[in-house]
Amino acid sequence: MNRELQLDQQSLVSAWQERLPALMEDGDSFSVQGDAADPSSLLVHFNAAGRQAYSLDFRCTYVDSREVAVSLIDAEEAGRQTDERSDAVQLLAQRYTRQIHECAQALQDLTNP
């Protein structure tokens, strides 16, 4: 059975922009855009609420119509590069990775009809 993603990238971006806010914590913000280098990938940018002003960038790649691979690309604190291994960044990365997986799961009615 072919489980290849059938949805075009722009439709996917729109669906993510609609669904992701419901999964986020108060005060956090995000943006989603297509990855120009890969039509099956999205770039998700999170801004964490709080005084530290962390922002994290992820690549979310559809392995097939049901599964995504998530990788942390970049972490910044107050606009400057920060250590991705710090506890604060790791906690945020885990939370956002979980939210990305939850969003992908919530959109399976679109991606895996």
Euclidean distance between CA atoms 90 and 98, whole angstroms: 12
For the chain, what are the domain ranges?
Answer: 9-111
Query: pLDDT in tens for each of the 113 residues of the chain?
Result: 457 788 899 999 999 999 999 999 889 999 999 999 999 999 999 999 887 899 999 999 999 988 999 999 999 999 999 999 999 999 999 999 999 999 999 999 999 87
Q: Are strands 68-77 and 54-62 parallel, antiparallel or unpaired?
A: antiparallel
Strand partners, 57: 45, 74
The pTM of this model reads: 0.93
Q: Which CATH architecture has domain 9-111?
A: 2-Layer Sandwich (3.30)
